[in-house]
Amino acid sequence: MKIVITGSLGNIGKPLTKLLIAKGHNVTVISSKPERRSEIEELGAVPAIGTIKDVEFLAETFTGSDAVYLMEAWEGIGSLFDQNINFLDEFKKIANNYVQAVQKSGVTKIIHLSSIGAHSDKGTGSLQVHHHVENILRTLPDNVSIKFMRPVGFFSNIYRWLPMIKSQGAIIQSYGGDQKEPWVSPYDIASTIASEMEKPFNGKTVQYAASDEVSPNEIAQALRKAVGNSDLHWKVIPAEELLNQMRSAGINEWIANGMVATQQAQGNGSLYEDFYLNKPKLGETKLSDFAKEFAEIYHNQNI
């Protein structure tokens, strides 16, 4: 199959590219960074250097493909510290670009990376952007089949807490405790997408992706053991205090409010209601596996 991947060689894009090439597919990787060209070629893929904000570039790249993997990245839109960005509007613009490009190219098989929380536009905080994106993509004609992949929280996002863990010896959030929630490894997402690419699918359907179910306290315990820091713990602070901290750090106001609202939905479990109604088979990567990977970076990275 001829497959196009958006998202460059990120946490999902790189392992997905490797898996698809190993399966014998012809893979084109879209990246906005010219310096990625050689790395893409070294993997055996074809680089397409351009931006997902360019409909004509997308349409030309998609044309002749058997399947396309679509995703939007917060980092691709702009800095989370930029107060002038309307992230919801920007996500919608990218979704509309994809709709136009798909129609111009004639591609009829799409796997789209959505997210947990996409089932609703209320009570999910900043994750509501994925609900709007899915709805825009659903306007594509009936002959265009889409599988919306909805992963839960990424284990790899825990790396964002490294400075906090090293400086304060704690993971500080506005929720916590012993209530389990689902987490996923990008490797399991990539594996699922690679497998689904080879299967026939019709209509516009949803599939969740998860690797393990663990509580905040279990995460802290696993990381504490892996890095050898007996003081590492998960600390819960009031939502207003967390919001004020993010504001003081200069984080975009909409993002800050959205992140706090998302944590509230995590804490009361409402974020996962649709997930548990459509629970997938869990992937192979568990918290213990991630903790080992985390420990290597923890000890080798100076922050």
Q: Which CATH number does the domain housing residue 8 bear?
A: 3.40.50.720
Q: Considering the domain boundaries, does residue 52 fall inside one?
A: yes
* pLDDT tens per residue, range 63-82: 999 999 999 988 788 899 99
Q: What is the pLDDT of residue 303?
A: 52
Q: Considering the domain boundaries, does residue 288 fall inside one?
A: no
Q: Considering the domain boundaries, does residue 17 fall inside one?
A: yes
Report CA-CA distances (Å) from 33 to 2, 63, 69, 246, 248: 22, 21, 18, 29, 32
Q: What is the pLDDT of residue 300?
A: 87
Q: What is the pLDDT of residue 92?
A: 97
pTM for the structure as a whole: 0.94
| Number of structural domains found in the chain | 1
Computed over every residue of the chain, the mean pLDDT equals 96
Name the amino acid, one letter, at 68: V
Q: Considering the domain boundaries, does residue 240 fall inside one?
A: no
Residue 65 lies in domain? 2-157+184-210
Percent of the chain with pLDDT over 90: 96
* pLDDT tens per residue, range 202-219: 999 999 999 999 999 999
Q: Considering the domain boundaries, does residue 294 fall inside one?
A: no
- Taking 70 as the threshold, does the pLDDT of residue 117 lie above it? yes
CB atoms within 10 A of CB 285: 20
Report how far residue 43's alpha carbon sits from residue 114's, in angstroms, rounded to the nearest whole number: 25
Q: What is the pLDDT of residue 302?
A: 64
Q: Considering the domain boundaries, does residue 86 fall inside one?
A: yes
212-214 sheet: strands from edge to edge: 153-154, 181-184, 212-214
Q: Considering the domain boundaries, does residue 258 fall inside one?
A: no
Report how far residue 14's alpha carbon sits from residue 40's, in angstroms, rounded to the nearest whole number: 9
Q: Considering the domain boundaries, does residue 291 fall inside one?
A: no
* pLDDT tens per residue, range 5-31: 999 999 999 999 999 999 999 999 999
